[in-house]
Amino acid sequence: MDLREKIQTDLHEALKNSEERKLSILRLLLDGIIKKEKDKRAGLKDIDSEEELVKKSQLTDEEVLQVISSFVKKSREATEQFEAGGRQELADKEKREMEILNQYLPEQMPEQMPEGEVRKLIEQAIKEVNAESIKEMGKVMSVLMPKIQGKADGSTVSSIVKQMLTK
């Protein structure tokens, strides 16, 4: 059973057991997965068969983990903002949502890459695409992201790339 199927099965169980909070979170998560599959499908060209198109657009477990990780990241950021704003009840709600989402993440997420190593990869990517200005940031990121996906925070990487291209 792949990860997407497990989420669907758990959603059905939550529905049977009237677990409203879990049901709500799993529906949102499944919607996020479906949206990502549609985006992937839109990028596929030259496939005649609908069956083959659906098969090729299904997310791998790794891609599903990326969706889950983005939901966890949003919850973590919301928790921090609610706590900073003195809204503990909303922060607690976000924490409960993260607990549900964390059940689908591997016990040990990949360790984050040190900043020095990230900077070296960014420098290599800049040289590889001959980027000279911030206008070429997209080219740099498209070469860079497959190498660091899940190993470094995207927003941090983005800000370092901007910094390096505006020198």
Asked whether residue 41 falls in the same domain as residue 62, the answer is: yes
- Once rounded to an integer, what is the mean pLDDT over residues 125-149? 86
What is the C-alpha separation between 101 and 121, in angstroms, rounded?
31
107 domain-assigned: no
> How sure is the predictor about 108, in pLDDT bands with cuts at 50, 70 and 90?
very low
Indicate whether 166 pLDDT > 70: yes
Q: How many other C-beta atoms are found inside a 10 Å radius of the C-beta of residue 78?
A: 18
Asked whether residue 77 falls in the same domain as residue 130, the answer is: no
> How sure is the predictor about 107, in pLDDT bands with cuts at 50, 70 and 90?
low
Asked whether residue 97 falls in the same domain as residue 125, the answer is: no
Asked whether residue 85 falls in the same domain as residue 135, the answer is: no
Asked whether residue 26 falls in the same domain as residue 82, the answer is: yes
pLDDT score for 112: 65
* CATH code of the domain in which 160 resides: 1.10.10.410
Query: How many independent structural domains does the chain possess?
Result: 2
What is the DSSP-derived secondary structure letter of residue 154? H
- Digit-coded pLDDT (tens) for 67-92: 888 888 888 889 889 999 999 999 89
Asked whether residue 94 falls in the same domain as residue 12, the answer is: yes
pLDDT score for 18: 92
What is the C-alpha separation between 84 and 79, in angstroms, rounded?
9
What is the DSSP-derived secondary structure letter of residue 166? T
Lowest mean pLDDT among 20-24, 52-56, 87-91, 150-154: 150-154
Q: What is the mean pLDDT of the chain?
A: 84
Asked whether residue 57 falls in the same domain as residue 138, the answer is: no
- Once rounded to an integer, what is the mean pLDDT over residues 120-146? 88
- Digit-coded pLDDT (tens) for 36-62: 988 888 777 777 777 777 777 788 888
Q: Of 102, 137, 154, which residue is a domain's last?
A: 102
* CATH code of the domain in which 12 resides: 1.10.1510.10
pLDDT score for 150: 66
Asked whether residue 79 falls in the same domain as residue 140, the answer is: no
Asked whether residue 18 falls in the same domain as residue 95, the answer is: yes
The pair of structure tokens assigned to 92 is 């607690």
109 domain-assigned: no
Contacts of 20 (CB under 8 A, 6+ apart): none
Domain residue limits at 24 = 3-102
Count of alpha carbons within 13 angstroms of residue 155, beta-carbon side: 4
What is the C-alpha separation between 3 and 58, in angstroms, rounded?
12
